[in-house]
Amino acid sequence: MFKGSLTSSWQHCLAWYDSLFKDHAILRLQWSNLAPVLPGKIWRCNHPTPRRIKKWYKTLNLQSIINLRGHRACGSDALARHTCQSLNLPYIDMAFESRNAPHRDRILRFYAIYQTLRTPTLIHCKSGADRTGLASGLIILFEGGTARDALKQLHWRFLHFKQSRTGILDAFFLLYEQEAEGRIPFIVWVTNNYNEDALRERFRAKQHKN
C-alpha cells in the first residue's frame, strides 16, 4: 500500500494508482453512495475522491469529515487527507470495525467527537455500507431516535447485507432495543450495560445454528 508523502507529482501518481487499483477506488469513480443521515447536518458516503471533497465542500457547506477507516497507509487516505488540508477542512480519524461487535470505548469516543462536531459533516468508510451504516445509526440514537430508525442506516441499498458477518452490527441495535429502549438512554446503556463479548458470542452461536 502507498506509504509516501504527496510532495511531488510522482508521489501523487503513485497515490492515485494505489487508490484506484489496490484500494478499489476505480469502482467508486461513478458511485458515491452519498445520502443524508440528518438532512443539512450529517451526510454519509463511500471514501470520497479529491474531486468530490472539493465539490461537496462547496455544495454541502462541509465543516468537517470523519474517516471511519482510521489513518491508513493507502493512496485513498493520503489523497483525501491532502485535499482536506488544502481546504483547511478538519479530517477526523475514528476507526470502526464492520465484522465484529462494536467496541464500547470506540462508541464512547465517537460520542465525544460528536458532541463538539462542526457540521455539516460527511462520514465515510471504504464503501459507505457497514462502518458508515453503524456510525449513522449511532448518530440517530445520539439524537434520540429509535433502534428501528438506526437500523434503516444498515440497508442493502447502501450495500449492507445483514445475512453476512456484518449482520453483527444489526444485532447490536436490536440488542439495545430488546434490553433498554424506552427505559435507559442509549449512551447510558452503552456505558453501564452493554456487553460486547456477550453480543459476539450470541451472534456466532446464531450463525453456527443457521
User: Which residue ranges make up each domain of the chain?
Assistant: 30-209
Residue 19 pLDDT: 97
- How many C-beta atoms lie closer than 10 Å to residue 191's C-beta? 14
- So what's the pLDDT on residue 209? 77
Side-chain-facing half-sphere of 120: CA atoms under 13 Å: 19
Strand 42-45 relative to strand 121-124, pairing: parallel
- As a whole number of Å, the end-to-end CA separation of the chain is 37
- Amino acid at residue number 84: C
CA distance 57 to 146: 30
pTM (whole model) above 0.75: yes
pLDDT of residue 2: 85
Q: What is the pLDDT, as a whole number, of residue 82?
A: 97
Per DSSP bridges, beta strands 91-93 and 121-124 are: unpaired
Phi, psi (rounded to 5 degrees) for 44: -130, 150
Report the relative pairing of strands 64-67 and 42-45 from DSSP bridges. Answer: unpaired
Residue 110, C-alpha cell as written in the block: 465517537
Tens-binned pLDDT, residue by residue, of the chain (210 aa): 788 789 999 999 999 999 999 999 999 999 999 999 999 999 999 999 999 999 999 999 999 999 999 999 999 999 999 999 999 999 999 999 999 999 999 999 999 999 999 999 999 999 999 999 999 999 999 999 999 999 999 999 999 999 999 999 999 999 999 999 999 999 999 999 999 999 999 999 988 776
Query: For residues 88 and 115, is the Cβ–Cβ distance under 8 A?
Result: no
d(CA 210, CA 64): 42
Q: What is the pLDDT of residue 210?
A: 65
Domain 30-209 annotated CATH 3.30.360.10: no
* Res 207: pLDDT: 83
Integer CA distances (angstroms), 33 to 11, 28, 81, 123, 154, in order: 28, 9, 20, 11, 13
Distance separating alpha carbons of residues 166 and 84, to the nearest angstrom? 30
